[in-house]
Amino acid sequence: MISLFPFDLFILAMKAENKHSKIISAATKVFAKKGFFTARISDIAKEAKVADGTIYLYFNNKYDILLSVFEEEVGKIVTKTEKLLGDEEDPKKMLEIYTTQHLMAMKKNKNLAEVIQIELRQTNKVIKDYRNNKFNEYIGIIANIIKKGQQTGIYKSNIKPDIAKRVYFGALDEVSRVWNASLETHYTLEEISDQVLSMFLAGILQQPDDSPE
């Protein structure tokens, strides 16, 4: 039986693709649970139902797995966020969307939340390979929202978007870290989202002209 027409190649590619992503998601799980350094390759292999050696057919080394996990998962979030933002034009609503989307994503995918934390603060100390492009893209969205709001005149012009994006991301990140580690009484996603948004939009100072919306 002769058979090398595209369909077979596709099937082949599918299998490979599946194995690749099986490993990715196994790794996400394992890294999140044990942390990068404590995770063993054999744990990942077991979780992915694959032989230890197989992993090295798809990745160069342990760190390469982490980086792939990170880029891939953050990439997904970026796509999702951009889709949700769609052609929303109101910078206030945009920030609202970003906030809830981020918190929801982190709540739904605790593993990812932790991988981000690890990758961000641990590993680039060891390996200086700054292709954190997806992440920069992701927080860049915040900066853009703020810039837009400044153009429309609804956001204060003295706010520096580059600082604000870090401030905002840091806040969201810590809030979801604590949440995932369940170190604190549980608030609902809505409560947290509201709090963060109102703190940033209107600040914590009592305004003399405090009237609803």
Residues engaged in binding a copy of itself (CB under 8 A) = 33-38, 92, 114, 117-118, 120-126, 146, 149, 153-160, 162-164, 166-175, 177-178, 181, 184-185, 187, 191-192, 195-196, 198-210
Please, which residue, 12 or 154, has the CB nearer to a copy of itself? Answer: 154
**Residues 93, 148: contact at Cβ < 8 Å?**
no
Backbone angles phi, psi at 34, to 5 degrees: -110, -10
With CA atoms as reference, report the closest residue to 72 among 22, 38, 36, 33.
22
Distance CA 149, CA 93 (A): 10
Contacts of 127 (CB under 8 A, 6+ apart): 63
CB 3, min distance to DNA, A: 4
| One-letter amino acid of 46 | K
Distance CA 16, CA 50 (A): 12
CB 68, min distance to DNA, A: 13
CB 116, min distance to a copy of itself, A: 10
* Interface residue list for DNA (CB under 7 A): 1-4, 8, 11-12, 15-16, 19, 38-42, 50-54, 56-57, 61-62
Question: Which of the listed partners (a copy of itself, DNA, none) does 184 bind, with a CB threshold of 5 to 8 Å by partner kind?
Answer: a copy of itself
